[in-house]
Amino acid sequence: MTRLLFSPDLVEEAVLLAEGTLMHDRAAFRRGRDRIYQLSDEGEREKSFRALHSRYFGALGLDTAVKETLAEHPEVTSGIDSCHVVRALTRKDEAADLVDELHARHGGGSAPALMIRLRPSTIVEPVHALRTFLHHELTHVADMLNPAFGYERRLPPSDDGPSADTMRQDRYRVLWDTTIDGRLTRSGRAGAGTRESRWQEFATTFGMLGDQCPTAFERWFNEANPTHAEILAFAVSPSGERGRSHQGRCPLCRFPTTSLDARVTTLSDAVVEAIQADRPEWHRKHGICPQCLDLYEARDLDARERRATATDEASA
């Protein structure tokens, strides 16, 4: 049976979040915490807090979704020795991955460890949302463990620099996610609206396919046995551009494109500065393809959201 371990800081914060909404005997919980605060020995006090929070974490069923969803993926549990659920700082940090180094520190054998990063608020939120997220992430891990998938952690670098590498990684991610959500939809494990949201992301990422974009989406969404090599090949050359003329390439990613994006004239100064940080020689007059423009604008939006979150947390 796979060992399932929750980090103490995640457990404590989740219990405190659940205190006002899920806890029926809040007074007893508070009395228990008050008694622990009276302990003079710091080590004993910390140990007692962990025991208290762990007990309520289990009593409130905050570990149930992870336990049950993990049990529904024997293709994952059979390939790992332990599962460590740790605290994520932001929604973007939430993910599941295989971590050999963590496993080695805990004295494990030849099998890797699974790390799941979750925010405490995600654990307390409605369980169906957490289970949907976990099914998606665990299918990622199942592919990574499947020899037939042929997973490789690092994509081979392109000859056109870091912007092209970033574009390739983003395309790969969207394709892989599309195959995963297709499989989950067919198994009844996908959330409401999954297909539509995945299509929107696919259409944005592979807009260069034009009229062929819906057909390509259907192909990948319905792919039952994807492989790393197939996904990478399509991410590198969605339209089969290999061997074509080198005319009409984006100045940043160097991928062939039928047209540059007219929105380049309205890019914010912050986005222009970010592009020039990667490519100092670039100027608006050189143009940019729609995919690169979307990528840099998404990065700028993410940076602004992170700054806003940091400001909110500092003022709290």
Provide the token pair at 174: 């969207």
The answer to whether 73 and 142 are in contact (CB under 8 A) is yes
The answer to whether 15 and 57 are in contact (CB under 8 A) is yes
Could you report the per-residue pLDDT of 24-74, keeping only the tens digit for each?
A: 778 888 888 899 988 888 889 999 999 999 999 999 999 999 999 999 999
Provide the token pair at 312: 């909110």
Q: Which of the four pLDDT bands, split at 50, 70 and 90, describes residue 141?
A: very high
Measured distance CA(68)–CA(260) in Å, rounded: 48
Whether pLDDT at 248 is above 80: no
Measured distance CA(44)–CA(25) in Å, rounded: 24
Q: Which of the four pLDDT bands, split at 50, 70 and 90, describes residue 226?
A: very high
The mean pLDDT value for 134-154 works out to 95
pLDDT value of residue 1: 63
Residue predicted with more confidence, 271 or 19: 271
The answer to whether 149 and 175 are in contact (CB under 8 A) is no
As a whole number, the mean pLDDT across the chain is: 87
The mean pLDDT value for 5-29 works out to 87
Whether pLDDT at 256 is above 80: no
Could you report the per-residue pLDDT of 196-211, keeping only the tens digit for each?
A: 999 999 999 888 888 8
Note the helical H segments in the chain. 8-18, 26-37, 42-59, 64-71, 74-77, 100-105, 120-124, 127-145, 162-187, 194-205, 213-221, 228-236, 269-278, 290-315
**Proportion of the chain above pLDDT 70, given as a percent:** 91
Q: Is the pTM of this model over 0.75?
A: no
Could you report the per-residue pLDDT of 105-115, keeping only the tens digit for each?
A: 445 556 889 99
